[in-house]
Amino acid sequence: MFKRILITGATGFLGHHVLPVMRKEFDAEIIAVGSRNYDLLKPGEPDRMMQEIKPDCVLHMAAKSGGIIDNKARPADYFYQNLFMNLHTFEAAFRHGAKKFMTFMGGCSYPATATSPIGEDQMWKGLPQIESAGYSVAKLMNLTQSWAYRVQHGFNSVVLIPGNMYGEWDNFNLTQAHVIPSLIRKYLEAEERGDPEIIAYGTGKPTRDFVYAGDVAATVPWFLKNYNSSDPVNISAGKRISIRELAETIKKVTGFRGKIVWDTSKPDGQMDKIFDVARLHSLGLSCDTSLEDGLRRTTEWFIKARKDGTVRL
């Protein structure tokens, strides 16, 4: 189907999960690159990358992502960097003759007023929550660009929408991390220090839909081989859990013996965000790793990676 597949962001969180799956599923030359190979924020660099590699398929995963605290502090960085990378990498792939382009956007791009379970048809019915609007709106432009190039040029591009991803190789920096890696690190370090409590952000009342990154990665080859539409697809478990329940589950997995104190001065974000996965299931796909199993794998990896010095702290 493809002779040469370019994967950007291959050294990132999702990239670590996707790369081995791609090498197993495709009898093609896989060129995996990261920011050390090509700085996609540098003008002309996406063009140079496409010209040198000449891929017939591009899986674009390079992105700037982070938790709600960092998004609130640096919305301009999240907006500019994601918009620049996506816009120019997409255009360069088209101009240099790629047959297919696939990328990802976040579920936070859905409107703040979206009702759960959130179906793909709700994407254009309002603005994203303000706390992550810089990132969310930049990612939302992926859909617009995919639609526009398909209509005008017949360019085949696909946009997938993972739920709240977690797993090995995530970012555990407490300023930038999402809730799961942040709590795993807090619990383990507090237990080692003998701290009687940890601080969790918000009220614990919001509900979320978490998906193990390995499950998302497992769907990627199918979409590259079989899906040829600019209609987005939610890739998630479709299961609801409150942040408070999540915190208790991670506490159990990590073995922390202290108590959880909730800092209600920190933002909760959207109160209920569960993804409708009917379209995913209609394609014969699903994300089935249980939350507790995924959390255990992630915790075990973090313990080893911290010891080896290979984790982002």
Q: What whole-number distance in Å separates Cα of residue 155 and Cα of residue 209?
A: 32
Enter the pTM of the model. Answer: 0.94
- Give me the CATH code for the 4-165+210-235 domain, please: 3.40.50.720
pLDDT (tens, 9 = 90+) of the chain, 313 residues, equals 899 999 999 999 999 999 999 999 999 999 999 999 999 999 999 999 999 999 999 999 999 988 777 888 999 999 999 999 999 999 999 999 999 999 999 899 999 999 999 999 999 999 998 888 999 999 999 999 999 999 999 999 999 999 999 999 999 998 888 899 999 999 999 999 999 999 998 999 999 999 999 999 999 999 999 999 999 999 999 999 999 999 999 999 999 999 999 999 988 878 899 999 999 999 999 999 999 999 999 999 999 999 999 888 7
CB 281 within 8 A of CB 235: no
Domain residue limits, the chain: 4-165+210-235
Contact 59, 222 (CB under 8 A): no
Sequential DSSP letters for 45-75: HHHHHHHHH--SEEEE-------HHHHHH-H
Catalytic residue (one of 135, 149, 201, 212): 135
Q: Are 260 and 214 in contact (CB under 8 A)?
A: no
C-alpha 150 chain-centroid distance:
24
Confirm if 287 and 237 have CB atoms less than 8 A apart.
yes
Q: Is 110 a catalytic residue?
A: no
